[in-house]
Chain A
């Protein structure tokens, strides 16, 4: 059940993000909702399941948009692994921590792109990056995190309830 719901969620988000969400972009900037979902999932379920969700999402991105396989997988994997490590130490009901983690993850995500550009193509424009990409993305991500985290939290709660009953019965 959980596998089904999670796969559905990742796929649905991927489909929406690559088609409809593009219309919501402000000056070409729209937060990476896939990243928000992966980070929230890792925070809710721990690093192991977070990593699985991260790998699946990264693979989707790699398959459909990257020139070389592996970049997005590694990026999502790393981010979900390290956010999942912090899962035991906080209250899920609190919104502040997911927001902080998601903005940090978005920052790392954008910065790694920038670093790859700088390293591979000597194409770095730090000021442009900071003011036109980095800051808007972070702010927008923080705004978008709240509803997404709320939805994921509700789904997770529902699934955990179901799983609890299942274990009681058998």
Chain B
């Protein structure tokens, strides 16, 4: 049977096709009333057809209303977009207001050190891990920022720039254990070196080492950069003393310094160039 089908497949299909077209041709021309069989079938079938067409028309009508809805929805979306735009604008304006405030605060500190040329900048990445505190800022040699310039924020020194690329710079904060800033106590003039320490770094503190054992330095004293540094200009405020202890050898003291700048949450910074002495920032 299958073999027969396989052998004469094409012929059988051709015959069927011819038969169907012939029937269609001959039957199509006649226009007669429905026969009994046809009417019976109609009696059975039409209610269902009625139902299905009902469903169809219902679908169509709801489709139409859905179309209206889609128009409405479109309009709604447009309005929403507009609203979002407006909201965005108000938010942006609020941000501008805030930025304006911080920038004017920075401007004030730059007026505190008016002799240096300054550039505003932002932190874009921080060194992961607990050992070192270096970060990347978004200004580089393209903005006339180069190595060994000083970073300050509203309050005091943040650190220095180690290396500058074209559009970025690598900076080291004063909390880093590799950083050392020659400093002195503003009240008594005692000299020392502010160094980072990884045991204090995560609390945002640093150490001032090599203070003379006889020094009159006390808790609460303000520490500023001294004239001994080649990199840091003189007289920038660093922080205040929170604790004083004598070293193991008994010859020197060290003080724990709390920087005026919250070095854990830095926002906008200012790069100052101590080689240029411009009157206005």
- Which of B131, B136, B197, B199 makes the CB contact (< 8 A) with A64? B136
In Å, the complex CA distance between A34 and B126 comes to 14
- Which of B127, B135, B197 makes the CB contact (< 8 A) with A123? B197
- Give the Cβ gap from A162 to chain B, nearest Cβ, in Å: 32
In Å, the complex CA distance between A29 and B170 comes to 22
Majority DSSP secondary structure for residues of B touching A: mixed
- Give the Cβ gap from A79 to chain B, nearest Cβ, in Å: 15
- Smallest CB-CB separation from A33: which chain B residue? B128
Q: Which residues of A contact B124 (CB under 8 A)?
A: 19
- Give the Cβ gap from A24 to chain B, nearest Cβ, in Å: 11
Q: Is the CB of A30 within 8 A of B198?
A: no
Q: Is the CB of A21 within 8 A of B198?
A: no
Known contacts A18-B128, A22-B126; A117 and B162 CB within 8 A of each other: no
- Smallest CB-CB separation from A109: which chain B residue? B129
> Which residues from 102 to 151 on chain B have a C-beta closer than 8 Å to any C-beta of chain A?
124-132, 134-136
- Smallest CB-CB separation from B168: which chain A residue? A64
In Å, the complex CA distance between A139 and B109 comes to 44
In Å, the complex CA distance between A21 and B129 comes to 11
In Å, the complex CA distance between A18 and B170 comes to 13
Q: Is the CB of A123 within 8 A of B126?
A: no
> Which residues from 13 to 33 on chain A have a C-beta closer than 8 Å to any C-beta of chain B?
15, 17-19, 21-22, 27-30, 32
- Smallest CB-CB separation from A137: which chain B residue? B130
- Give the Cβ gap from A28 to chain B, nearest Cβ, in Å: 4
Q: Is B177 an interface residue (CB 8 A)?
A: yes
Q: Which residues of B contact A30 (CB under 8 A)?
A: 128-129
Beta-carbon contacts of B172-214 to A below 8 Å, as 1s and 0s?
1000011000000000000000000111011000000000000
Known contacts A30-B128, A32-B128, A117-B131; A123 and B198 CB within 8 A of each other: yes
- Give the Cβ gap from A125 to chain B, nearest Cβ, in Å: 5
- Which of A22, A66, A67, A125 makes the CB contact (< 8 A) with B128? A22
Q: Is the CB of A121 within 8 A of B128?
A: no
What's the tally of chain B residues with a CB closer than 8 Å to chain A?
A: 22
Q: Which residues of A contact B170 (CB under 8 A)?
A: 64-65
Q: Is the CB of A125 within 8 A of B130?
A: no
Q: Is the CB of A67 within 8 A of B126?
A: no
- Smallest CB-CB separation from A113: which chain B residue? B131
Q: Is the CB of B125 within 8 A of A121?
A: no
Q: Is A146 an interface residue (CB 8 A)?
A: no
Known contacts A64-B170, A65-B170, A123-B177; A18 and B127 CB within 8 A of each other: yes
Q: Which residues of A contact B197 (CB under 8 A)?
A: 123
- Give the Cβ gap from B239 to chain A, nearest Cβ, in Å: 19
In Å, the complex CA distance between A28 and B203 comes to 9
Q: Is the CB of B198 within 8 A of A117?
A: yes
> Which residues from 27 to 57 on chain A have a C-beta closer than 8 Å to any C-beta of chain B?
27-30, 32, 34
Q: Which residues of A contact B131 (CB under 8 A)?
A: 113, 117
Known contacts A64-B170, A67-B172; A133 and B132 CB within 8 A of each other: no
- Give the Cβ gap from A60 to chain B, nearest Cβ, in Å: 11
A residues at B contact (CB < 8 Å): 15, 17-19, 21-22, 27-30, 32, 34, 64-67, 113, 117, 121, 123, 125, 128, 132-133, 137
B residues at A contact (CB < 8 Å): 124-132, 134-136, 162, 170, 172, 177-178, 197-199, 201-202
A-B pairs, 3 with minimum CB distance: A18-B125, A28-B202, A65-B127
- 6 A-B pairs besides A19-B124, A64-B127, A65-B170 with CB distance below 8 A are A18-B127, A22-B126, A67-B172, A67-B178, A113-B131, A125-B199
